[in-house]
Chains A and B, each alone.
Chain A
């Protein structure tokens, strides 16, 4: 319930997050960013010694969207965002962030990109307010710290030492620090790892309200539900390569094995009634029941075709592919799952 108030707060007193927009310098950047995508990565390559962590990663993040980077552990997600944040120097490829080069224009970039790192703790001996205040002093046009603390729901904890905060509170403080410089882009790595379900949901609401303030968000995650809930688009990275790119719904449909429909026909009929339909990939008999897999408006098409031959579909069960189905197929190309997708 309190979380709703927080969101309203954010909406109402929103100016705290946006004074930078009114300065001539940032206006110049804003107009520049219209010409460029917020983030452009092309042919990124990075190795550590003999290990090739990132082989070939390309994607573009548009202004104002939440873009997710999904992938199993060790896929190269964190290395990719570290290159984008300027923390690591790529071995090959190009990166452009707000039209800037993360290596060459480091200083300019750091004022405009807020980063939340996967690991790391803050000073244990400092309170929430002291920490936010300290980080605010690093930026030319910081957000109002008191308001930011309230907006992130840390008001009651403002004088609590970092070491006494719960996991969710530490995470929210970490997000506050990524936002305290009034960034145009926020990069958030493993945002909700280690949080309990309620804290995760609160964090999600928070991220949506940040996006609503016009901040572009690059989110690294290995939680499918998080990506489905938050991301406008996702890139799935596996073994250092982008294996799929699109909206969560689009990916689920395209890569997840499509939709499944199960029913008992009112009387037997020729399978070809269904196998000939556009969008139907597979038709199987399971005892008295039939299972149809395909993409698009599968149910409508099947019911229509059955009606035309005077068959009724009884006890219908539906199952749509999720982003998780898509993910599991994408990152395990040699598994059984892959064979099932193959259309005859």
Chain B
């Protein structure tokens, strides 16, 4: 979309963005895909795993030692991000493009990228809520220590969020229709969650697999968040890996996004 020759007097009113965000929030509440998949499912899994017991054992070979339960916290945060950023967000955006709603917006003073911004804001808020629920729930009820390096933890979580939202927007940019976006999202769910350690903890992966995991957005994310929970500021590598995913896919999404 080429930039309109907007002068200051022809900017859309500032209340437009506020109204768009409120509207998108209402839609997210009325058809609660993001809420169900991104908030409820991970929280329920946390409750089930936490209540089952047996996960308070230390993962063999982990250094510093970490329990299965502690390890699952950043993995579930990764799940929140995949559900919200890679499944819910692109589905809604591709749908709006499919139904020419983005095009309808571009006949008004509001550019369709404002809807994209509103979608990102609403989904970001949902992701933050889900992450807080998981960390607080695990800490309060399931013997996981609160992140000792809170600053490092927040930074890691935000970088993981940025990386996943960038990939989600990239899917929305290239997916021809909602079916393609759903397939891409689902495939990425299994791939990213595998490398995040949902099925086998990263500490138990073979050296090669863990090496690959280190360069995936959620492998790096779990690594960085786990370090922060255990009290040390995350090492530079996972942070840089996540930042790189965010920048590369963010730019590609901006470059490739189709509004109609």
Q: Is A149 an interface residue (CB 8 A)?
A: no
Contact mask A102-144 → B, CB, 8 Å, 1/0?
0011111011010101011111011000100111011110000
CA distance A135 to B26 in the complex (A): 15
CA distance A197 to B92 in the complex (A): 35
Q: Are A107 and B4 in contact (CB under 8 A)?
A: yes
Main secondary structure of the interface of A (DSSP, over half): loop
CA distance A130 to B23 in the complex (A): 8
Q: Which of A25, A120, A139 has the most CB of B within 10 A?
A: A120
**Assuming the A-B contacts A107-B4, A130-B23, are A138 and B103 also in contact, with contact meaning beta carbons closer than 8 angstroms in the complex?**
no
Q: Are B101 and A120 in contact (CB under 8 A)?
A: yes
Q: Are A138 and B23 in contact (CB under 8 A)?
A: no
Q: Are A122 and B104 in contact (CB under 8 A)?
A: yes
Contact mask B100-115 → A, CB, 8 Å, 1/0?
1101101111100000
CB distance from B89 to the nearest CB of A (A): 16
Q: Say which residue of B10, B20, B96 sits within 8 Å of A134 (CB atoms).
A: B20
Q: Are B104 and A117 in contact (CB under 8 A)?
A: yes
Q: Is B13 an interface residue (CB 8 A)?
A: yes
Q: Are B7 and A107 in contact (CB under 8 A)?
A: yes
Q: How large is the interface on A (under 10, 10 to 19, 20 to 34, 35 or more residues)?
A: 20 to 34
Q: Is A192 an interface residue (CB 8 A)?
A: no
- Whose C-beta in chain A lies nearest to the C-beta of B15? A137
- B23 partner residues in chain A, CB cutoff 8 A: 123, 126, 130, 134
**Assuming the A-B contacts A125-B26, A125-B27, A139-B13, are A181 and B100 also in contact, with contact meaning beta carbons closer than 8 angstroms in the complex?**
no
- Whose C-beta in chain A lies nearest to the C-beta of B4? A106
Q: Are B5 and A87 in contact (CB under 8 A)?
A: no
Q: Is B12 an interface residue (CB 8 A)?
A: yes
Q: Which of A87, A106, A115, A126 has the most CB of B within 10 A?
A: A106
Contact mask A170-191 → B, CB, 8 Å, 1/0?
0000000100010000000000
Q: Is B132 an interface residue (CB 8 A)?
A: no
**Assuming the A-B contacts A125-B27, A125-B30, are A110 and B101 also in contact, with contact meaning beta carbons closer than 8 angstroms in the complex?**
no
- Whose C-beta in chain B lies nearest to the C-beta of A85? B107
Q: Which of B12, B18, B107, B110 has the most CB of A within 10 A?
A: B107
Q: Which B residues from 104 to 157 make CB contacts under 8 A with A?
A: 104, 106-110
Q: Are B10 and A108 in contact (CB under 8 A)?
A: yes
Contact mask A91-106 → B, CB, 8 Å, 1/0?
0000000000000111
- A135 partner residues in chain B, CB cutoff 8 A: 108
- B31 partner residues in chain A, CB cutoff 8 A: 125
Q: Say which residue of A86, A105, A117, A137 sits within 8 Å of B100 (CB atoms).
A: A117
- A111 partner residues in chain B, CB cutoff 8 A: 10, 109
- B103 partner residues in chain A, CB cutoff 8 A: 87, 117, 120
Q: Say which residue of B26, B30, B106 sits within 8 Å of A87 (CB atoms).
A: B106
- A117 partner residues in chain B, CB cutoff 8 A: 100, 103-104, 107
- Whose C-beta in chain A lies nearest to the C-beta of B10? A107
Q: Are B107 and A130 in contact (CB under 8 A)?
A: no
CA distance A45 to B11 in the complex (A): 30
Q: Are A105 and B109 in contact (CB under 8 A)?
A: no
CB distance from B260 to the nearest CB of A (A): 8
Q: Are B13 and A121 in contact (CB under 8 A)?
A: no
Q: Are A121 and B100 in contact (CB under 8 A)?
A: yes
- B27 partner residues in chain A, CB cutoff 8 A: 123, 125-126
Q: Are A138 and B107 in contact (CB under 8 A)?
A: no
- B9 partner residues in chain A, CB cutoff 8 A: 25
Q: Is B236 an interface residue (CB 8 A)?
A: no
**Assuming the A-B contacts A119-B100, A125-B26, are A138 and B109 also in contact, with contact meaning beta carbons closer than 8 angstroms in the complex?**
yes
CA distance A307 to B104 in the complex (A): 63
- B240 partner residues in chain A, CB cutoff 8 A: none
**Assuming the A-B contacts A107-B4, A107-B7, A126-B27, are A87 and B107 also in contact, with contact meaning beta carbons closer than 8 angstroms in the complex?**
yes
CA distance A120 to B109 in the complex (A): 18
- Whose C-beta in chain B lies nearest to the C-beta of A131? B23
Q: Say which residue of B5, B16, B106 sits within 8 Å of A104 (CB atoms).
A: B5
Q: Are A140 and B13 in contact (CB under 8 A)?
A: yes
Q: Is B6 an interface residue (CB 8 A)?
A: yes
Q: Are B101 and A121 in contact (CB under 8 A)?
A: yes
CA distance A85 to B4 in the complex (A): 13
Q: Is B99 an interface residue (CB 8 A)?
A: yes
**Assuming the A-B contacts A87-B107, A107-B6, A138-B109, are A133 and B19 also in contact, with contact meaning beta carbons closer than 8 angstroms in the complex?**
yes
Q: Are A139 and B108 in contact (CB under 8 A)?
A: yes
- Whose C-beta in chain A lies nearest to the C-beta of B22? A134
- A125 partner residues in chain B, CB cutoff 8 A: 26-27, 30-31
Q: Are B110 and A138 in contact (CB under 8 A)?
A: yes
Residue ranges of A at the interface with B (Cβ–Cβ < 8 Å) = 25, 85-87, 104-108, 110-111, 113, 115, 117, 119-123, 125-126, 130, 133-135, 137-140, 177, 181
23 examples of A-B residue contacts, CB within 8 angstroms: A85-B107, A87-B107, A104-B5, A107-B6, A107-B7, A107-B11, A107-B109, A110-B107, A120-B104, A123-B23, A123-B27, A126-B23, A134-B20, A134-B23, A137-B13, A137-B20, A138-B110, A139-B13, A139-B108, A140-B12, A140-B13, A140-B109, A177-B104
